[in-house]
Amino acid sequence: MKIPPFLLLAALLATATHLPASEEMEEEFKERFRAFIEAGDVSRQALETVWLYEDTPTREFIRSQGKFESTIARGLETIEIVDIYPQMREGLDDPVQLEGATYVINLEPYGMLEATYRQEIEGGSDGWSYVLGEKDGKLYLVGLTERDPIEETLPE
């Protein structure tokens, strides 16, 4: 059976205009992140639209918040979602000791957000990257959750 050329063309156009779910999720996150930066608000409520910081310790919270403030001040040039850097992949699931407690990341790692600044500063960074995770069909910057001390002593 021969397929008419107009049906082939229609099928190609339909598949080309339909993004897979992961691409739709990524585009939705990029739009949400750009809106967050453009709003210029780094309050906890605003941060929750892009970052599920949960139990992230104060020092780490402030460090991450500073990245967002720098991006607001210097402007957002580009954002891209890339694969997690190989050197980071191995240790992502490992617990970390911070401020006297044990933490693990709060979302399953999905990829890395790479953000570059519009305005460069001599001798300064041109951007930053952060691990992304998925929750309820949306991407967020990962945060940390405190691990229950009882879990730390249980055998695996």
Domain regions of the chain by residue span: 20-153
Number of neighbouring beta carbons within 10 Å of residue 11: 11
3-state SS class at 136: coil
On whether the pTM is more than 0.85, the answer is no
Q: What confidence score (pLDDT) does residue 20 get?
A: 56
Residue position matching structure tokens 């409520």: 45
Q: What confidence score (pLDDT) does residue 120 get?
A: 83
Q: What confidence score (pLDDT) does residue 121 get?
A: 82
Residues with pLDDT less than 70, the chain: 1-21, 149-156
Q: Are strands 109-117 and 76-82 parallel, antiparallel or unpaired?
A: antiparallel
